[in-house]
Amino acid sequence: MKTEVFRVDPGNPDKYALRKAASVIRSGGLVAFPTETVYGLGANALDPKAVRKIFAAKGRPVDNPLIVHVHEPGGAAYLGVVDGRSRKLMDLFWPGPLTLVIAAAPGVPSEVTGGLETVAVRMPDHPVALVLISASGVPVAAPSANRSGRPSPTTAGAVIEDLDGRIEIVLDAGPTDVGVESTVLDVTGDVPVLLRPGGVSIESIRKAVGDVVFSPCGKEAGRSPGTRYRHYAPSIPVVLLDPEGVWKNDPRIGDARLPVAYVGISPAPVPVFAQVRFESVKQYAGGLFSALREMERSGAGVILAELPPEEGVGLAVRDRLRRAAMKPVNGNS
Ligand code: AMP
Ligand code: MG
């Protein structure tokens, strides 16, 4: 298959490209498109055959459910149960990087839900995504547009790096803004559970709806199948620069055969071969995935990555880095 790339101006999206992309979605094909978080790989969420193509193109484990994207809050009610609290969250955070896990309506394909009784829904805050979904006339299931296990794509170039020849179209609207994926919040129980930290901070969700349960690496992670896997990982190992200094004992850091690349905000603590420095945690989130991809291309043998403070979007950056640094497990990456 030949992958077509269309440049689209987010301020004035090209109608030809969007019409063509929408018709590909409607006829069961795959389109990579920009959102405010990362690039997504979209298919008609109501067409099981089309959804299966997403898993095949990415090499994604089939028990890892997908987020369904809608172009208006009303679209969520066709996919699942929207209660008062969910509506309040939608009013406050949509369009935006908050995904809500709600009880699924009958008819949502099990390919989308991973066989769970819940469905994850969000309305992205990007004009190209919104026009594409509305022109398609169907809800769009879309995980990040990378090969499974790799850093998420924040540019069309990164999508092509991973998926060229495997998908019909890439809509290129330049680099994405937030840079880390959406916050995933399960609102099916009495107390909302944060399944994945992301672009909307846990602090702001707590301000809106009170208590939210979250423990990094805790049992909640098991409820979100995707969080069990090593993910976001470049092809060279990632070592976390932790304040306790455990990294200093990592044999990969002192090894002369492995030149060190560094990503972080503080100055690198050792001489490095290549680096990407950020001025703020927000910038770190925005540039994290492209920095990991750039450092893997640099010729370095290992990446030393600074863990930012555990607040705001820093929680999401820490989560992605922690999983990028996990040891590979067969079949998961
Ligand atoms: P991705 O689309 O690759 O950014 O990943 C979507 C994330 O949402 C993964 O961590 C999934 O496990 C999670 N997710 C999607 N649907 C559900 C669901 N119904 N219940 C729990 N987690 C979900
Ligand atoms: Mg992903």
CATH code of 261's domain: 3.40.50.11030
Position 71 in a domain: yes
Domain assignment present for residue 70? The answer is yes
Predicted confidence at residue 171, as pLDDT, reads 98
CA of 47 to the centre of ligand 1 (A): 18
Does some domain include residue 281? yes
State whether 111 and 194 are in the same domain.
yes
101 and 217 inside one domain: yes
Domain boundary among 164, 199, 223: 223
In a domain, 233, yes or no: no
Domain C-terminal end among 198, 223, 248? 223
Q: Nearest ligand to the C-alpha of residue 181? A: 1
183 assigned to some structural domain: yes
Give the 3-state DSSP-derived string for the chain, with helices as H, strands as E and coil as C.
Answer: CCCEEEECCCCCCCHHHHHHHHHHHHCCCCEEECCCCCCEEEEECCCHHHHHHHHHHHCCCCCCCCEEECCCHHHHHHCECCCHHHHHHHHHHCCCCEEEEEEECCCCCHHHHCCCCEEEEECCCCHHHHHHHHHHCCCEECCECCCCCCCCCCCHHHHHHHHCCCCCEEEECCCCCCCCCCEEEECCCCCCEEEECCCCCHHHHHHHHCCCECCCCCHHHHHCHHHHCCCCCCCCCEEEECCCCHHHHCHHHHCCCCCEEEEECCCCCCCCCEEEECCCHHHHHHHHHHHHHHHHHCCCCEEEEECCCCCCCHHHHHHHHHHHCCCCCCCCC
Residue 332 is assigned to a structural domain of this protein = no
Residue-level pLDDT at 331: 38
Q: Which of 174, 198, 223 is the last residue of a domain?
A: 223
- pLDDT per 10-residue tile (average), the chain, 333 residues: 97 94 98 98 98 97 96 98 98 98 97 97 98 98 96 97 98 98 98 97 97 75 65 90 92 93 97 97 97 96 96 96 80 35
Number of structural domains, the chain?
2
**Pocket flag, ligand 1, residue 181 (CB < 6 Å):** yes
Query: Ligand 1 test: best mutation among 195, 229, 289, most atoms within 8 Å of CB?
Result: 195
Same domain, 61 and 30: yes
Task: Write the residue with the smallest CA distance to atom 21 of ligand 1.
Answer: 224
The CATH code of the domain that includes 142 is: 3.90.870.10
Residues 250, 123, single domain; the answer is no
- For residue range 165-205, list pLDDT tens digits in order: 999 999 999 999 999 999 999 999 999 999 999 999 999 99
Q: Are residues 17 and 99 in the same domain?
A: yes
| Residue 180 falls inside a structural domain | yes
Q: Is 153 in the pocket of ligand 1 (CB under 6 A)?
A: no
Looking at residue 226, its pLDDT comes to 66
Assess whether 150 and 244 both reside in one domain: no
State if residue 155 touches ligand 1 by the CB under 6 angstroms criterion.
Answer: no
- The domain in which residue 190 lies consists of 4-223
Same-domain pairing of 9 and 105: yes
For residue range 53-72, list pLDDT tens digits in order.
Answer: 999 999 999 999 999 999 99
317 in the same domain as 189? no
Determine, yes or no, domain membership for 320: yes
- Do both 202 and 264 map to the same domain? no
Determine the residue of 39, 55, 63, 67 to mutate for testing ligand 1's pocket, defined as the one with the most ligand atoms within 8 A of the Cβ atom. Answer: 67
Say if residue 183 is in the same domain as residue 253.
no
Q: Which pLDDT value is given to residue 231?
A: 78
Same domain? For 39 and 188 the reply is yes
**For residue 333, what pLDDT is reported?**
30
Do residue 55 and residue 141 come from a single domain? yes
Residue to mutate, 62, 100, 184, 193, ligand 1, most ligand atoms under 8 Å from C-beta: 184
